[in-house]
Amino acid sequence: MEKTRRLGKGKLCELFGEQALPIDEFMRSVGLERSSKESWENNKDPQLTSILTAYSNGINDYVQGISLMGEEPQTAKLLPPEFLVFGVTKETFEPWTPADCLLTIRIIQFHLTWNWASDL
């Protein structure tokens, strides 16, 4: 999820270094993050608001509840493996937002659109 979110935001360089810059530049020009934020800001559906807010809160609560010391409430002892590999800590984790949920959906849609280059 974190990699997908960073892909959509054009921030893969933060994980993979300078070699990911062309991908980041491309994704920023596509504008999936911008359209996701606009969709969320213009959302008028209370059910969608409730679902995406609850989902985002669940992700953030899980990450913040991770503790080796057994502090309550404890959701897990270790961060997901990809967080450890890329040096993401619960202190550096950018809180998940409902717009991030929409962004993730847009990334999946983008991957399923095989002919996007022809359309472009």
Q: How confident is the model over 28-48, as pLDDT tens digits?
A: 999 999 999 999 999 999 999
CA distance 120 to 117: 5
Contact present, 55 and 99 (Cβ < 8 Å): no
Q: Is it true that domain 2-112 has CATH number 1.20.1300.10?
A: no
Q: Dihedral, CA atoms, 94, 99, 100, 101, nearest 10 degrees?
A: 140
- With a cut of 80, say whether residue 117 has pLDDT above it: no
The residues spanned by each domain of the chain are: 2-112
pLDDT band at 70; cut points 50, 70, 90: low
For residue 21, give both structure tokens: 């810059």
Contact present, 2 and 82 (Cβ < 8 Å): yes
Other beta carbons less than 10 A from residue 97's beta carbon:
18
CA distance 35 to 99: 9
- With a cut of 80, say whether residue 15 has pLDDT above it: yes
Contact present, 17 and 24 (Cβ < 8 Å): no
- With a cut of 90, say whether residue 75 has pLDDT above it: no
